[in-house]
Amino acid sequence: MFTFFKELKEIRNICNDYQEFKKQVIAKQEVDDHFATTCINQLRNIQEMLFKQSVPVVKKAKANKVKKSKLTKVKQ
């Protein structure tokens, strides 16, 4: 789970870095919009894929937490 959030943070940092780079390139009027859009879309697709992979893990963790809390209540 920690790896997912670490990768997600890295992807966000890459997107932010690329956005900053794109601003600098636009200022110099040397941007290739098609390439920039393609790169950003690919990064977003990767981010979405990682998020979708994490959803079952998060649901399972929440389910385990509920089971544990119910067991604790029964024991008391």
Cα 32 → chain centroid: 25
pLDDT exceeds 60 at position 5: yes
DSSP 8-state secondary structure symbol assigned to residue 56: H
More confident residue, 7 or 55: 7
Q: What is the pLDDT of residue 50?
A: 85
- The 10s digit of each residue's pLDDT in 22-68 is 888 777 766 666 777 888 899 899 888 888 887 776 667 666 666 66
Contact in structure between 14 and 43 (CB atoms under 8 Å):
yes
Reading the block at residue 35, the tokens are 């390439």
Q: What is the pLDDT of residue 21?
A: 87
Contact in structure between 47 and 8 (CB atoms under 8 Å):
yes
CA triple 65-55-73, angle to 5 deg: 10
